[in-house]
Structure formats: structure tokens, C-alpha cells
Amino acid sequence: MRTKILIVFLIVTIVAACKKDQYTTAPQLTFNSVNSTSLQKGDLLTFEIGFTDKEGDVQDTMWIQRISKICPSDVSRTIPYPIPNFTAVSYLRGTFEVSYAYNLINAGYPVIGTCVASKNDTSYFRFWIKDLAGHTSDTISSPNITFQK
């Protein structure tokens, strides 16, 4: 009987310890999904990025960097996006949705194009955020995205 109680106690302790590690002072990001890895002109590209933050103060800035594998001169386009203000709560978990319109001017979405008009472009994206206290998250990357001509 004592062995069973000890085993249950150890399992509960391990589970509790793992849950506490999910929330840190610096925001943590996870790449959840992208709606497509091959786009035609006029398509919408949407990323879902998960986050956790112990203090819940992620309302500062998200940086998104597009890295083209086709155009070395266009290697790094880093764009800061302000994160809208919302009421901070401790131990915050949520999802950011980031969308681009591929070669289509579409109200409400930033337009993304290719660097060479004559061939397909392959790029990947990197994401990181800074919270109101100045803590920077880890950097996560998307899979390769092909922009078809």
C-alpha cells in the first residue's frame, strides 16, 4: 500500500513540476501551423503562433523575418508589428494569427511578393516577440513556403 501511495505521489509531483515549466518570465513561442506551404498569386498566407507568458505582458512587439532561399540580396526582411493592447493576466496562454496576401492588394492584410518575377521563390519565416518588461522570446521558424509564379 505504501508503494502505491509513493508512486501516485511521484506521478503527481512530476506532472505539477512539468506544468510550472510551461510558463516563464520571458515569453515562449510555439509554431502551431501555416495554412499552406505552396501559394499561388492571390492566396492568403496565415500563420498560427502559440505563446505562453508568466506575467501575461506580451503587448509590445512581434518581429517577423522573411528569409528567401532564392534571392541572397533579399536575405533578411525583418518587420516589427505592434501587438494590440489587452488586459494582462498571469499565466497567459494564447495564439497569434499572422496573415499576408500574396501579390494581391487586399484591405487589412500586408502584401507579400517575390524577389524574382521569372521563377518561384522559396522562403521561410522566423518569429519572436518582446514583452512590456523587455523580455525577448525564443525564435521559432516556419517550414519552407513556395511562392508560385
Q: Which domains does the chain have, with CATH numbers?
A: 23-147 (2.60.40)
C-alpha distances out from residue 122 to 68, 82, 112, 113, 117, Å: 6, 26, 13, 11, 13
pLDDT of 9 above 80: no
Q: Residue 4 — very low, low, confident or very high, per pLDDT cuts 50/70/90?
A: very low
The residue ranges of DSSP E strands in the chain, in sequence order, are: 28-34, 38-39, 44-53, 61-68, 77-82, 92-102, 111-112, 121-130, 140-141, 145-147
Residues 95 and 51 sit within 8 Å (Cβ to Cβ): yes
How far is it, in rounded angstroms, from Cα 24 to Cα 49? Answer: 17
How far is it, in rounded angstroms, from Cα 74 to Cα 107? Answer: 25
- Sign of CA pseudo-dihedral 116, 120, 122, 125: positive
| 59-70 per-position pLDDT tens digit | 999 999 998 888
Q: What residue type is assigned to position 128 of the chain?
A: W
| 73-101 per-position pLDDT tens digit | 665 678 888 888 888 899 999 999 999 99
